[in-house]
Amino acid sequence: MIKAKRHWLRICGLSLMLPFAAAQADDGATPQGSTLCTKIPIPCDAVIAHRGASYQAPESTRPAYLLARDLGVDYLELDLQRTKDGVLVAVHDNTLGRNTDVAEVFPDRADAPVSSFTLDELKQLDAGSWFNASYPERARDSYSGLEILTLDEVIDIAENGDNHPGLYIETKVPEQFPGIEQDLRDKLEARGWLGDAAKTRPAAEGGAVKVGDGPGRLVMQTFSKASLEALEQTMPEVPRVLLLWLGEGGIEAAPSEPQAEDESSADYYARQQVASPEAFRSWLDFAKDHGAIGIGPSAVQTEHDGPFSSQFSYMELAEPWMIGMAHDDGMLVHLYTVDEPADFERYRQRGVDGFFTNRAEQLLTFYGHPAQDQEAILERHGY
Ligand code: G3P
Ligand code: CA
């Protein structure tokens, strides 16, 4: 019910009666979420399932996306790459060693980029067993042998449940894939997610989530300024978000001591600082000048020493003044990648508009949705 209500508010355009942004807090942040989401067709308090429900199932695989969809997330997040034979696929890393058995199947190509494999070759890989080995407490026999998914297959998942989530698509290492933005547009048009066909998409009948049926069904995200420009050219009508990173290739960082041998990456990232407010400002300006509707900054996770979250605890790019600066520019703030309730609370107090999360079930609960039985959902789908 709660979910249905917040979508109804958006659909009914109540935003027109609301102020542009909530009153500013003394520290420059907008308290408890801005109202920008009522002006932009993106859900307020957006729940973005980072590589699917990737705490409970292997990232970017079928059970991860099915679980996220059925839990009721607003968006399925995916990292887009292209195979050697031109097929769009959902893979995060540039190489396949971390989460497939590529070293066994193609021993001479264990470090080769994803782009050098055909779809047929990628489909020979096991993208699930690594998860069972890394997280035995969440392992399932049925995860062994899971396939890498094509974009088409992720779209099928988004379309074929009671809930209709949107897609939040990142162009990953786009410099390796010239023209991938146009390929993506062509695919999305062919699937009826863009263009004329999108105007007559059938609405979800059963589920509470209807993001996939509305104008916010797609969000494009990228760390690359060049790709943001390409997305602006190829998909001007699609909401776009510039992801933010501190350091090489990103916002200028203040000088800092190198990472110590016994220092975790999470601790190292957590002590990095922007060089100046102007350095941060310049990336916001670029985003705004190129029509982005928001930014995606990184976050520090409080429990970043845990076995899973340590992979996703990054630099603090969501200090109150940074969020305030983005909101003042009329841009949403979607934070990556946050999994723990204490961190949801801390950043929501600062006014962020949504989170990328591996733990969709925890974020949905935090936002007031009833808890669901993840085991039952996975079992219903044969996992
Ligand atoms: O896309 C948001 C977040 O996913 C960015 O980081 O490395 O997980 O793609 P990454
Ligand atoms: Ca991503």
pTM over 0.85: yes
Q: Is 75 in the pocket of ligand 1 (CB under 6 A)?
A: no
Q: Is 356 in the pocket of ligand 1 (CB under 6 A)?
A: yes
Q: Around Cβ 262, how many Cβ atoms within 10 Å? A: 6
The alpha carbon of 205 and the centre of ligand 1 are apart by a number of angstroms equal to 31
Structure confidence by residue, pLDDT tens digits, 359-369? 999 999 999 99
User: Which residue's CA is the nearest one to ligand 1's atom 2?
Assistant: 336
Contact yes or no for 129/144 (Cβ under 8 A): yes
Domains of the chain in sequence order: 2-369 (3.20.20.190)
Structure confidence by residue, pLDDT tens digits, 127-164? 999 999 999 999 999 999 999 999 999 999 999 999 99
Contact yes or no for 251/317 (Cβ under 8 A): yes
Contact yes or no for 241/75 (Cβ under 8 A): no
Q: Is 221 in the pocket of ligand 1 (CB under 6 A)?
A: yes
Structure confidence by residue, pLDDT tens digits, 196-248? 888 887 777 778 899 999 999 999 999 999 999 999 999 999 999 999 999 99
The alpha carbon of 144 and the centre of ligand 1 are apart by a number of angstroms equal to 24
Rounded mean pLDDT of the chain? 89
| Residue ranges in the chain assigned as alpha helix (H) | 2-11, 62-71, 102-105, 119-122, 129-134, 151-159, 180-190, 225-234, 265-270, 277-289, 320-328, 341-349, 360-366, 374-380
Ligand 1 atom index nearest CA of 356? 2
Ligand showing the shortest atom-to-Cα distance for residue 334 = 1
**To test ligand 1's pocket by mutation, which of 80, 114, 301, 336 has the most ligand atoms within 8 angstroms of CB?**
336
Confidence of residue 328 (pLDDT cuts 50, 70, 90): very high
Cis peptide bond prior to 337, omega within 30° of 0: yes
Q: Which residues are catalytic?
A: 50, 92
Check residue 72 and give its pLDDT: 97
As a whole number of angstroms, the distance between CA 241 and CA 167 comes to: 13
The alpha carbon of 263 and the centre of ligand 1 are apart by a number of angstroms equal to 23
Q: Around Cβ 114, how many Cβ atoms within 10 Å? A: 25
As a whole number of angstroms, the distance between CA 143 and CA 255 comes to: 43
